[in-house]
Structure 1
Amino acid sequence: MTSFSGYLPYAFALIIAIPFLVLLRQFVFTYIRLKEQEIRLLTVKSNSENKAQSYERMVLFLERMKPSNIVQRFDKELAVHEFIFLTEKAISEEFEYNSSQQLYITKNSWKNIVDSKNAVIDLLHTTYEGLKGDANLEEFKTIFIMNYINGEDYISATIEDLRREILIIA
């Protein structure tokens, strides 16, 4: 017959270790669950911050695209066609730089931003075509601003839509 007395120290150690192992297991699983929640919260917070920054960047882009701000950008000694070329290039480059922001902005707002950009570029060209090359740069800038003022203020409308959207998101 085998004596169980040789196994008593192992049994005693096992009886004492099991509750500690259960508590340790519970602690590890709770810690992992809390870390996962923290990561989810940080992701949501980060995503909200990205959205807010996207809206801010696009409002800044639209503000810079307003004709009253565009006419101040380049040297007064340029020819009208040079001014148009440089302005269109600057708008396109800034738009391309900000194009990744469409990931965080609604499709409708992005469409309005693209439409505003295209409308400003079209206004540059139609103003130039209306002058038939007879004006200097200062006259062109004045007529360009007046054409914008007399038309629909699509940039301000787009900015206002972006403001409404960010309030809904926040």
Structure 2
Amino acid sequence: MSDFSEYFPYAAALVIAIPFLVLLRQFVYTYINLKNQELKLLSVKSNSENKTHSYERMTLFLERIKPSNLIQKFDKHLAVHEFIFLTEKTISEEFEYNASQQLYITKNSWQNIVDSKNAVIDLLHKTYESLNNNPDLEEFKTVFIMNYMNENDFIGATIEDLRREILIIA
């Protein structure tokens, strides 16, 4: 039979190394978990910032398409049909520019934004059709504003919905 004394140094090294390796493994495991939690928190924070930014951008879009703001755009010497064309083009381009924001906004709010945009464009055309005589631009703008004021403030309602949602998110 062989003498176990020649294996004693190896056994002692193993007895000392095993607890050290177990503690090292536990430290690495805990460190990785903490880093994963940190990444999740950063991701949630970034997502929240994206949502907030989206709500801000869409509120700004809605403010820009309010008839009271639209009538201040473009040259005063345009024909009414030119004003309508340029206004509709501006609204559509800005909407397309902001279309990616729908990723961060609820479906209901996004639909309200789309409906508001379409309602403003429809109001432009309905106002023009309602004026049989060839109106000048100032007359058209006045009737356009009056028509908007006689309807429900759909843009204001949409902005208020966005405001309520952002308070829930924050």
For 2:81, the equivalent position in structure 1 comes to: 81
Equivalents in 2 of 1:152, 1:9: separation in Å? 89
Where in structure 1 are there 5+ consecutive unaligned residues? none
Q: Which runs of 5+ in 2 are unaligned?
A: none
The corresponding residue for 1:137 is: 137
Change over 3 Å in CA distance of 1:169–1:88 after alignment to 2: same
Residue matched to 1:19:
19
Tell me, what secondary structure is at the counterpart of 2:2? coil
Shift of 1:84: 0.6
CA distance in 2, matches of 1:75, 1:35: 57
- Give the 3 Å change call, closer, same or farther, for CA 133–83 of structure 1 in structure 2: farther
Counterparts of 1:6-85 in structure 2, within 5 Å, are 6-85=6-85
Aligned partners of 2:9 and 2:85: how far apart in 1?
Answer: 90
Residue number in structure 2 paired with 1:168: 168
Q: Which residue of 2 aligns with 1:123?
A: 123
Letter in 2 for 1:142: T
TM-score, normalised by the number of residues in structure 2 = 0.94
AA at the equivalent of 1:70? L
Taking only aligned residues, the RMSD between alpha carbons, in angstroms, comes to: 1.3
Question: Amino acid of the residue matched to residue 153 of structure 1?
Answer: D
Shift of 1:3: 2.8
- Residue 128 of structure 1, CA deviation: 0.9
Find the aligned partners of 1:34 and 1:121 in 2 and give their Cα distance: 52
Please state how far the C-alpha of 1:89 moved relative to its aligned partner.
0.8
1:70-105 Cα deviation digits (max 9, x unpaired): 111211121111111111011111111111111221
TM-score (normalised: structure 1): 0.94
Deviation for aligned residue 1:157: 0.8
Residue 98 of structure 2 aligns to a residue whose secondary structure is helix
The one-letter code of the counterpart of 1:96 is E
**Superimposed CA distance per residue, residues 53-86 of structure 1 (whole angstroms, 9 cap, x where no aligned partner):** 1111111110000011111121112111111111
Q: Runs of at least 4 residues of structure 1 off by over 4 A?
A: none
1:12 and 1:133 mapped to 2: Cα distance?
A: 105
Deviation at 1:145, TM superposition (A): 1.0
> 1:148-159 to 2 correspondence within 5 Å?
148-159=148-159
